[in-house]
Amino acid sequence: MWTIALLLCMVGLSHTHHCLLSPPQRTPLVGINKMMAPACYQNTAPCGNTTASTPNLEVRAGGITRVVFEKNMAHFNKDNPGYYTISIGKEDGSLTELKRFTDPGDPAIFIYSVDVTIPATLDASQNYILQVKHTKNTGTGSPYLYQCADIGVFGGSSVQPIGK
């Protein structure tokens, strides 16, 4: 009995999860208010096991965009904290890091809101991915977790929904 309980704990500790709320991630945001939500677990670079879709948000090149994501499962190593990066680029892995911050050790189901500046040099005729990556530094399970949103770029005001 104890072996099964220990194994289940180890499986739980080997995963960390985060969901990208805004701009919305590729996978449906189902069950995200419960720890270990399947929608929040993607461990394959650059965007997990998801496929590109039509962008549902456009951002202004050179403008500031707010990225909102949920830490769905907390795994914190106080001796060697992990970190989050927010990047923009193409799905082929050519990403530009926009922001990096150390995992502050907040509990699960914690919402982060981070402003990033979109590079002014992006081509408005192209679609891009905005990626949130968590580097865990826990020594268990996959060391990296990913979420991506498909976005477009334009030259108008800072952020506007598609079609407006």
| Helix, coil or strand: residue 162 | coil
Question: Who contacts 61 (Cβ-Cβ below 8 Å, separation ≥6)?
Answer: 118, 119, 120, 121, 122, 124, 153, 154, 155
For 72-112, write each residue's pLDDT tens digit. 988 788 899 999 999 999 988 799 999 999 999 999 999 99
User: What is the edge-to-edge ordering of all strands in the sheet holding 83-89?
Assistant: 95-102, 83-89, 127-135, 144-154, 57-60, 159-161
d(CA 111, CA 8): 26
User: How do strand 17-22 and strand 110-117 relate by DSSP bridges?
Assistant: unpaired
d(CA 109, CA 34): 7
d(CA 117, CA 97): 10
Higher pLDDT, 90 or 158: 90
For 25-68, write each residue's pLDDT tens digit. 999 988 888 888 888 899 999 999 999 999 989 999 999 999 99
For residue 14, which of 147, 109, 138 has the smallest C-alpha distance?
Answer: 138
Res 31: pLDDT = 85
Fill in the amino acid letter for 28: P
Res 16: pLDDT = 53
| Per-range mean pLDDT, top range of 10-14, 16-20, 32-36, 145-149 | 145-149
CATH number of 17-157: 2.70.50.50
d(CA 84, CA 135): 6
**Tokens 């960390």 label which residue?**
16
